[in-house]
Amino acid sequence: QKEVEQNSGPLSVPEGAIASLNCTYSDRGSQSFFWYRQYSGKSPELIMFIYSNGDKEDGRFTAQLNKASQYVSLLIRDSQPSDSATYLCSAGWTNAGKSTFGDGTTLTVKP
């Protein structure tokens, strides 16, 4: 079992809809969680991170963390075609720089 698992995808949503991306992790020692966006042929770029249970909002993006269920999600509201990319979930440890990445979920937003 991979340490970080993501929806197998691909995920397709119409423009303006909410896209929901999910991630589970197996190491209960993981303390910080990151969502990266990767456009085809490009390098990953950080969207947001979360380390406390609950929701964290940044513009159209909301990260949700449930440590009891070992579950992290990313909601993208009012999805745009420019959101079409692969989204990588990562789990890390406070005061330790290493983190583990999932295989990513590819999102397509159709106009």
Partner 1 sequence: NAGVTQTPKFQVLKTGQSMTLQCAQDMNHNSMYWYRQDPGMGLRLIYYSASEGTTDKGEVPNGYNVSRLNKREFSLRLESAAPSQTSVYFCASSVGTGGIYEQYFGPGTRLTVT
Would you tell me which residues interact with partner 1 (CB under 8 A)? 4, 6, 31-32, 34, 36, 42-46, 49, 51, 88, 90, 92, 94-104
Cβ 13 to partner 1, closest distance in Å?
Answer: 20
Residues across the chain: 111
Q: Which is nearer to partner 1, 29 or 97 (CB)?
A: 97
Cβ 15 to partner 1, closest distance in Å?
Answer: 25
Could you tell me how far CA 59 lies from the centroid of its own chain? 15
Tokens encoding 89: 């979930």
- CB count within 10 Å of CB 43 equals 7
The DSSP bridge partners found for residue 20 are 75
Burial status of residue 111 (CB atoms within 10 A of its CB: 0-12, 13-18, 19 or more)? exposed
Residue with tokens 């509201």: 77
Cβ 111 to partner 1, closest distance in Å?
Answer: 25
Q: Which is nearer to partner 1, 48 or 75 (CB)?
A: 48
Tokens encoding 5: 């698992």
Q: Which is nearer to partner 1, 34 or 109 (CB)?
A: 34
Cβ 88 to partner 1, closest distance in Å?
Answer: 6
Q: Which is nearer to partner 1, 9 or 60 (CB)?
A: 9
